[in-house]
Amino acid sequence: MNRHRPDRVTDYDRDHPIVVEGLRNSFDGQVIHDDLSLTVRRGEILGVVGGSGTGKSVLMRSIIGLQVPDAGKITVLGDDITAARDDDDIDIRSRWGVLFQGGALFSTLTVAENVEVPLQEFYPGLSDDLRHEIARFKVRLSGLPAEAAAKYPSELSGGMKKRAGLARALALDPELLFLDEPTAGLDPIGAAAFDSLIGALQDTLGLTVFLITHDLDTLYAICDRVAVLADKRVIAVGTIPELLALDHPWIQEYFNGPRGRAARSVGENVSAARDDQPKAKGMDKRPEAGE
């Protein structure tokens, strides 16, 4: 299964699996990103926030090579995504998993068949039995009951669809997981369960997670750091306490508005209630220079 892990990426900076430098994107003259830079650390859950239409999804699409930028350089796991691509790009795509905003399951395929799509694409030599077994395992790993494997997307609830999308994103044992609004449209209990699942997967599988969200509870519960997209750039990256210390109006409004305060008090209560356990993420980090 390791034949897609090429030697040529062994000398990259392993501590920073995603590095975006000087990114510029525009559509019909409308500039979305201008000189945007962002570095993601290995093993972290990085939350990405910003107003609607600020270009969060376009940033994610740029990082996974679906959007060709006007300028800038993006390096993922040592591979230059923005360089001219050739057949090698199959290597890098097998090392990340993506849950798109809206899910994007194939409606004519069952959940298990959806999970098998990337397996078939990247490992065509797998026997049918083994492929089915891996798909069933990923379905269970994503917190779905075994029966869900045979269901079609139209037969699933919103939360189950998200989990099915996650199962497909995990099909190839990725090192990087990209999630675009994974808890949007879920009820609060479903959203919290999804957050716990992502946190557990990060812990057990050592994933690095790029997580676009509007959900303040998610930011407090599972994100190690948060990147703020505004003014066409990433204006700040840090833990939530670090961001709270900045006086940018959008950041203050977002984290110190009524919803932000409510989410923070829940985050702090979680920390206080678990004195002997790891604290809610982002509540106990010290500022670090240079990023």
- Is residue 54 a contact residue for ligand ATP (CB under 6 A)? yes
Nearer to Mg ion, 59 or 148 (CB): 59
Is residue 174 a contact partner of residue 97, using CB atoms and an 8 Å limit?
yes
Indicate which of Mg ion, ligand ATP, none lies near residue 94 (CB less than 5 to 8 Å, by partner kind): none
Stretch 30-49: interaction string toward Mg ion, x if CB under 5 A: --------------------
Nearer to ligand ATP, 2 or 52 (CB): 52
CA distance 166 to 168: 5
- Is residue 149 a contact residue for ligand ATP (CB under 6 A)? no
- Is residue 57 a contact residue for Mg ion (CB under 5 A)? yes
- Is residue 29 a contact residue for ligand ATP (CB under 6 A)? no
Helices (H) and strands (E) in the chain, counts: 10, 10
| Alpha-carbon distances, residue 266 vs 38, 185, 205 (angstroms) | 29, 21, 27
Q: Which of 110, 77, 73, 81 has the alpha carbon at shortest distance from 96? A: 77
Nearer to ligand ATP, 102 or 188 (CB): 102
| Given 7, 11, 29, 52, the residue binding ligand ATP (CB under 6 A) | 52
CA atoms in the 13 A half-sphere facing the CB of 205: 23
Indicate which of Mg ion, ligand ATP, none lies near residue 174 (CB less than 5 to 8 Å, by partner kind): none
Q: Which of 31, 9, 21 has the alpha carbon at shortest distance from 72? A: 21
CA distance 184 to 214: 8
Smallest gap from Cβ 126 to Mg ion, in A, equals: 33
* Binding footprint of ligand ATP on the chain (CB under 6 A): 27, 32, 50, 52-58, 101
